[in-house]
Amino acid sequence: MTFNILSILPILVLAGFGMLVLVVDVMSARKLGEKNLLAYLSLAGIVIAAIVSRNSTATTLFSFNETFTIDNYALFFNILFLLSTGLVILISHSYIKREDINHGEYYALLMFSTIGMMLMASGADLLNIFIGLEVMSISIYILTGFKRSKLISNEASLKYFLLGAFATGFLLYGISLVYGTTGTIDLRQIASFVAGKGGVKDPLLLMGMGLIIVGLGFKVASVPFHAWVPDVYEGAPTAVTAFMSVGPKAAAFAAFMRIFLTAFGSSHYEWQKAIWILAVLTMTVGNVVAISQTNIKRMLAYSSIAHAGYLLVALVAANNMGVSGTLFYLLAYIFMNIGAFAIVIVLSQKGDVGMNIDDYAGLGFKHPMLAIAMTLFMFSMAGIPPMAGFVGKFYIFSAAIKSGYVGLAIIGVINSVISVYYYLRITVIMYMKEPVRDFHPLTISPLIVVAIAIAVVGTLHLGIFPSKVMEIAQRSILTLR
């Protein structure tokens, strides 16, 4: 029995700070509206957890009876999750005040959800990954409905919960089938079982694998398990939308890659073809439907579906470049997507008014800095150099070509071209249309400015100097197989 408290130190830190936030919130209940302390406390928790993660042991560590592992892969994702949660806290602070949902548990739920993500990236057996997924999801179900008085928010929350529970059923069923055929839920033991048989041949095991694809496909928002995404993204508070478009997606991919590369790595022929089709569907539907959106949150929702499609391309390629490219891409995606949502938050008004794409007309002249930042994020998502998104796509598509999936890479590039249309439309509207509304004096809190600045710097830095991060990503994936 191995038990190493150090291995879960980041999780403990987050849990501790989450509960501290709850306690402090209750103790200072009288001073509603003035909850800056809670935000700072949560940020401190994030930073400390990040420091602890960084200082964790450099060698791979198994603990809790080998069900939990801390390796470079998990550490990379830990930093990724903490970064995204940190940025979301920065953009939430003024937003939840404006929307009158400034309750202390908001921050606590963000942190609990992050704990779930970390568990998913660190799980060494299927059950731990499942528990992580549930911890993460349940917090987000609540966060989605955080605007208690708003019908649309409640509806989104309920939809997400019902469908999420439904998809979880598939995942669990898949896990139990895998357990039934292999006799284990430990990823490495499954791997040796599969390798011993010379690949997965048992129909029941194959079915289990397929059901796991469904369960995780729901979380990464892959077509046809994506239908919840636009409705939920639109209904949720914008800051929560930003949160769930990056962190949970990254966590689901972390689990996806760990399960399929570690446990089923030796028989990737069986699952690659299914994911190939999912990737093509996801990219195409995401991009094509995004074109006809008029609400920016829905557009970003479809855009996030499309990005999941690109990431599935890397999963199909399943080579080192593809997997490290996924890590890189997720990091880039955090910067550009949270950045874009930050701008959306700044420009909307109380009650989330001003979410139409046409509301952005003339922004380039009224608020040049915001418009430049938004342009940068859009360019990055469209994959235009020298932004981070370009480099990420470059790695992913070249990984596909390396593995011989030239057709898939071509479909990806065509999709990327289609996406340019709706990303650049924002820029066109910002700079080439006369303003239809007057942006009244925006109240921009310093914290959100910090978040936008970090996102801008990150987007540009990863785009211009990608090699350093890519090196780290390449080192991080060595323990996967």
Partner 1 sequence: MLNLISLVLLFPLIGTAINGLIGKKLRKETVGYIACGAIGMSFFVAILVFFGLLQLPPESRVFEKQLFNWIESGSFKAAAGLQVDPLSSLMILIITGVGFLIHIYSIGYMHHDKGYHRYFCYLNLFTFSMLLLVLGNNFLLMFIGWEAVGLCSYLLIGFWFEKKSASDAAKKAFIVNRVGDFGFALGIMLIFITFDTIDFTGVFHAASQGNIAVGSFTVTIITLLLFMGATGKSAQIPLYTWLPDAMEGPTPVSALIHAATMVTAGVYMIARCNVLFMLSPFTMTVVACIGAATALFAASIGLVQNDIKRVLAYSTVSQLGYMFLACGVGAFTAGVFHLMTHAFFKALLFLGSGSVIHALSGEQDMRKMGGLKKHIPITYRTFLVGTVAIAGIPPFAGFFSKDEILLEAFVRGNFIYWAVGALAALFTAFYMFRLLIMTFHGKSRVDHHAMEHLHESPKNMTVPLKILAVLALLGGFLGIPGASAINGFLSPVFGEHGHVETHGAEACGSHAACLPYLMMVISTGIAIAGIYLAYLMYIKSPELPKKLAERFSLIYKLLLNKYYIDEIYDALFVNPIKKISLLLWKRVDAQLIDGTVNGVAGFVRGFGSVLRLSQTGYVRNYAFYIVAGCIFIIVFVVFGK
Kindly list the residues in this chain that would bind partner 1 in the complex (CB under 8 A): 159, 162-163, 166-167, 170, 203, 206-207, 209-211, 213-214, 217-218, 223-225, 227-228, 230-231, 270-271, 273-274, 277-278, 285, 288-292, 418, 421, 465, 467
**Coil, strand or helix: which one is 468?**
helix
Q: Which is nearer to partner 1, 23 or 457 (CB)?
A: 457
Q: Which is nearer to partner 1, 112 or 170 (CB)?
A: 170
User: What tokens appear for 463 in the block?
Assistant: 């785009």
**Coil, strand or helix: which one is 356?**
strand
Q: Which is nearer to partner 1, 169 or 196 (CB)?
A: 169
What Å distances lie between residue 46 and 112, 300, 432, CA to CA? 11, 26, 41
Q: Answer yes or no: are the C-beta atoms of 252 and 340 closer than 8 Å.
A: no
Q: Which is nearer to partner 1, 209 or 254 (CB)?
A: 209
| Adjacent-strand bridge partners of 123 | 68
Q: Indicate the burial class of 149 (C-beta count within 10 angstroms; 0-12, 13-18, 19 or more).
A: exposed
Q: Which is nearer to partner 1, 417 or 442 (CB)?
A: 417
Q: Which is nearer to partner 1, 329 or 395 (CB)?
A: 395
Torsion angle of alpha carbons 50, 52, 58, 63, nearest 10°? -110
Q: How far is the CB of 348 from partner 1 (least distance, A)?
A: 22
Q: Which is nearer to partner 1, 50 or 236 (CB)?
A: 236
What Å distances lie between residue 480 and 102, 259, 288, 331, 425, CA to CA? 41, 9, 34, 19, 40
**Coil, strand or helix: which one is 58?**
coil
Q: How far is the CB of 104 from partner 1 (least distance, A)?
A: 31
Per-residue b/e over 219-247, b at no fewer than 16 CB within 10 Å?
bbbbbebbebbbbbbbbbbbbbbbbbbbb
Q: How far is the CB of 228 from partner 1 (least distance, A)?
A: 6
Q: Which is nearer to partner 1, 213 or 240 (CB)?
A: 213
Q: How far is the CB of 200 from partner 1 (least distance, A)?
A: 9
Residue 385: which H helix or E strand, with range? none
Q: How far is the CB of 115 from partner 1 (least distance, A)?
A: 27
What residue type is assigned to position 386 of the chain? Answer: P
Q: Answer yes or no: are the C-beta atoms of 405 and 276 closer than 8 Å.
A: yes
Q: How far is the CB of 418 from partner 1 (least distance, A)?
A: 6
Q: How far is the CB of 54 from partner 1 (least distance, A)?
A: 23
Q: How far is the CB of 199 from partner 1 (least distance, A)?
A: 12
User: If we measure between CA atoms, which residue out of 330, 347, 95 comes closest to residue 236?
Assistant: 95
